[in-house]
């Protein structure tokens, strides 16, 4: 566009100021990305599957439920597959090396959690080896494990002791928001080794229903089945379960939104001020434009084009930096917040916000430039 050259020429007027303003935008967008990603990690958006239900002991998730419930649950119409988990809670070498360990039911695992993918030969090896274990790709990478390694884990639950497993497989989540840090081993091996008094109990069931709309009815039916038994159940859809889990973290949303708000307000202020100073310095030039015959509106356009160009380039730089740094962050926080994703949605929102700030910061100075009267601006001092 023929006016592009004028706009770019104006931007280069004071290179240091341009760099600093670009830098401010880059920094703000970097922070925005960081906050959005952390929020996503806590909120666990899009993790839940619509057709899965979770059954826990009504008292709390810590309490166990009998394995004998499984068959009863399967008999409820609408339920297709049921699998169960125990939280193992062991220590690998040191306490800081935390990763979640689950005792799983090999028969139904793949049917209920199809998004966590294991190759067929690895899965077959798992079915053949009672001491076999499968690790998520992130955890395997973290400790440099390879198929065939022997993994020792110490536990103080379930009677304590040192357990050892053969790593026969590595799983990958199909979607970016899947948890790739888990460690699985077999229920039958677990049952064998634990003391008599805790045998026959599992932590929670995860089941699949044929029709997602049917889920609430199935949930009610399951809880009704075990009402007034010594271990009453509480069944929820996976999304409700996750949403409630998220709420336990407290007001993370409020905190993040507050910080984000402070940052963007400050950015707007700083950039707006910079634009205002820059326009003030050019009063006589803008008057010349108008004298030559450029309309008032075109002058407003020039100012807005400048501020939006800065916000666009600065914002893109910040988002690019975020994309580059995200793997580093993810690695550092993987034990506490396993799911850190910088989605296209976040990037798009960030860019839009940057453009909005660019527009707003140029608006006031631009309007001032628009209303500038040539005769006043060119009056001889």
Partner 1 sequence: MLPKLFFGLVITLAAIFVFLLGLTILVGLLAPFFNTVPVSYNFRSIRARWTSTIVAIVGIAGTVGVFVAMLSLARGFKATMVASGSPGNALVMRAGSSSEMMGGITLETIKHLGDKTGVARDATRGALLTQDVVGVVALPLVSTGTDANVQVRGVSPNVLQIRTFVRIAQGRMFQPGLTELVVGQNASKTYAGLQLGNTITFAGGRWKVVGVFDAGGSAFDSEVWCDSTILNQILQRPSNIFQSATIHLTSPGEFQSFKDAVISDPQMNVDVVREIDYYAKQSTTMTKLITVLGSIVAIIMAVGAVFGALNTMYSAVAERGREIATMRALGFSNLNVLLSFLFEALLISIVGGLIGCLAVLPLNGLTTSTMNFQTFSNLAFAFKITFDLLLMGIVFALVMGVLGGLLPAIRASIRPVAVALRDL
Partner 2 sequence: MVKVDGSGGNASLIKVRDLDKTYRRGGEEIHVLQGLNLDVDAGEFIAFMGPSGSGKTTLLNLLGGLDVPTRGSITVAGDEITHMSASRLTEWRARHVGFIFQMYNLIPVLTAFQNVELPLLLTKLSKAERRDHVETALSVVGLADRMTHFPRQLSGGQEQRVTIARAIVSDPTFLLCDEPTGDLDRKSADEIMALIEELVGKHSKTVLMVTHDAVVAERANTTLHLDKGVLVEGLQSGPRLTTVGGHA
Give the residues lining the site for partner 1 (CB under 8 A): 14, 16-17, 20-21, 23-24, 27-28, 30-31, 34-35, 38, 58-63, 89, 91, 95, 154-157, 160, 197, 230, 232, 234, 243-244, 247-252, 259, 262-263, 265-267, 269-270, 273-274, 276-277, 329, 332-333, 336-337
Q: Answer yes or no whether residue 380 interacts with partner 2 by CB under 8 A.
A: yes
Among the listed residues 371, 379, 353, 349, the one whose alpha carbon sits nearest the alpha carbon of residue 303 = 371
**The entry of partner 2, partner 1, none that residue 307 binds, CB within 5 to 8 Å by partner kind:** none
Instruction: Report how far residue 267's alpha carbon sits from residue 347's, in angstroms, rounded to the nearest whole number.
Output: 18
Nearest distance from residue 9's CB to partner 2, in Å? 4
Interacting span for partner 2 (CB under 8 A) from 9-17, 29-37, 160-168, 217-225? 9-17
| 44 contact choice in partner 1, partner 2, none (CB below 5 to 8 Å, kind-dependent) | none
Q: Among partner 2, partner 1, none, what binds residue 295 when CB lies within 5 to 8 Å by partner kind?
A: partner 2
Q: CB-wise, 70 or 290, nearer to partner 2?
A: 290
State in angstroms the smallest separation of the CB of 319 from partner 2.
Answer: 29
Q: How many angstroms separate the CA atoms of 58 and 64, rounded?
A: 10
Task: Rank residues 56 and 125 by Cβ distance to partner 1 and give the closer one.
Answer: 56
CB of 57 to partner 1, least distance (A): 9
Given candidates 61, 76, 221, 288, which one binds partner 2 under the rule CB under 8 A? Answer: 288
User: Is residue 16 a contact point for partner 2 (CB under 8 A)?
Assistant: no
Q: Which of 15, 66, 43 minimizes the C-alpha distance to 243?
A: 43
In the complex, the smallest distance separating the C-beta of residue 295 from partner 1, rounded to whole angstroms, is 28
| 3-class DSSP string for 29-45 | HHHHHHHHHHHHHHHCC
Let me know: does 207 contact 65? Beta carbons within 8 Å. Answer: no
Pairing type for strands 101-104 and 183-186 reads parallel
Kindly list the distances between the CA atom of residue 179 and the CA atoms of 16, 142, 352, in Å, as whole numbers in the listed order: 44, 14, 29
Q: Does 296 bind partner 2 (CB under 8 A)?
A: yes
Which among partner 2, partner 1, none contacts residue 59 (Cβ within 5 to 8 A by kind)?
partner 1
Out of 49, 292, 350, 363, name the contact with partner 2 by CB under 8 A. Answer: 292
Residue 244 binds what, of partner 1, partner 2, none (CB under 5 to 8 Å, by partner type)? partner 1
Question: 160: burial class by Cβ within 10 Å (0-12, 13-18, 19+)?
Answer: exposed
Burial class (CB in 10 A: 0-12, 13-18, 19+), 368: middle
Query: Pick from 10, 45, 233, 274: which binds partner 2 (CB under 8 A)?
Result: 10
115 Cβ contact partners less than 8 Å away, ≥ 6 residues apart: 49, 173, 174, 175, 178
Q: Smallest distance, Å, CB 374 to partner 2?
A: 5
Rounded distance between C-alpha atoms, residue 163 and residue 132, angstroms: 12
**3-class secondary-structure state, position 134:** strand
Q: Which of 293, 324, 328, 336 binds partner 2 (CB under 8 A)?
A: 293
Pairing of strands 79-87, 204-209: antiparallel
Within positions 57 to 96, which residues make up the interface with partner 2, using CB under 8 A? none
91: DSSP letter: B
Binder of residue 311, out of partner 2, partner 1, none (CB less than 5 to 8 A by kind):
none
From the list 142, 261, 295, 315, which residue makes contact with partner 2 (rule: CB under 8 A)? 295
Q: Is 137 exposed, middle or buried (0-12, 13-18, 19+ CB in 10 A)?
A: middle
Centre a 10 Å sphere on the Cβ of residue 152 and count the other Cβ atoms it contains.
Answer: 12
One residue of 3, 143, 249, 265 binding partner 2 per CB under 8 A: 3
Which residues are near partner 2 by CB under 8 A? 2-3, 5-6, 9-10, 12-13, 284-285, 287-296, 374-375, 378, 380
């Amino acid at each position: 566009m023929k006016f592009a050259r004028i706009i770019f020429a104006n931007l280069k007027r004071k290179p240091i100021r341009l760099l600093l303003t670009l830098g401010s935008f880059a920094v703000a967008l970097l922070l925005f990305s960081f906050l959005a990603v952390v929020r996503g990690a806590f909120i666990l958006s899009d993790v839940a599957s619509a057709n899965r239900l979770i059954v826990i002991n009504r008292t709390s998730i810590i309490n166990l439920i009998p394995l004998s419930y499984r068959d009863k649950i399967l008999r409820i119409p609408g339920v297709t597959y049921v699998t169960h988990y125990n939280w193992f809670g062991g220590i690998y070498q040191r306490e800081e090396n935390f990763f979640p360990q689950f005792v799983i039911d090999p028969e139904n695992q793949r049917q209920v959690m199809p998004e966590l993918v294991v190759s067929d030969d690895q899965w077959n090896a798992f079915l053949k080896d009672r001491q076999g274990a499968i690790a998520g790709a992130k955890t395997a990478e973290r400790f440099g494990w390879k198929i065939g390694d022997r993994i020792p884990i110490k536990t103080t639950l379930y009677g304590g002791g040192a357990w050892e497993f053969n790593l026969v497989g590595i799983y990958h989540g199909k979607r970016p928001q899947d948890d790739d840090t888990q460690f699985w081993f077999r229920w039958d091996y677990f049952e064998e080794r634990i003391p008599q008094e805790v045998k026959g109990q599992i932590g929670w069931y995860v089941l699949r229903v044929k029709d997602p709309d049917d889920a609430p009815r199935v949930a009610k039916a399951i809880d009704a089945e075990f009402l007034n038994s010594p271990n009453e159940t509480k069944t929820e859809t996976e999304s409700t379960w996750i949403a409630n889990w998220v709420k336990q973290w407290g007001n993370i949303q409020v905190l993040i939104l507050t910080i984000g708000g402070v940052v963007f307000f400050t950015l707007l202020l700083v950039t707006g001020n910079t634009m205002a100073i820059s326009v003030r310095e050019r009063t006589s030039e803008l008057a010349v434009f108008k004298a030559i015959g450029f309309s008032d509106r075109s002058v407003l356009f020039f100012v807005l084009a400048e501020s939006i160009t800065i916000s666009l380039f600065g914002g893109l730089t910040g988002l690019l930096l975020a994309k580059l740094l995200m793997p580093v962050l993810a690695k550092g926080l993987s034990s506490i917040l396993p799911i850190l994703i910088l989605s296209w949605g976040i990037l798009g929102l960030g860019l839009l916000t940057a453009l909005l700030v660019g527009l707003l910061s140029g608006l006031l100075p631009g309007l001032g430039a628009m209303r500038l009267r040539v005769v006043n601006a060119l009056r001889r001092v």
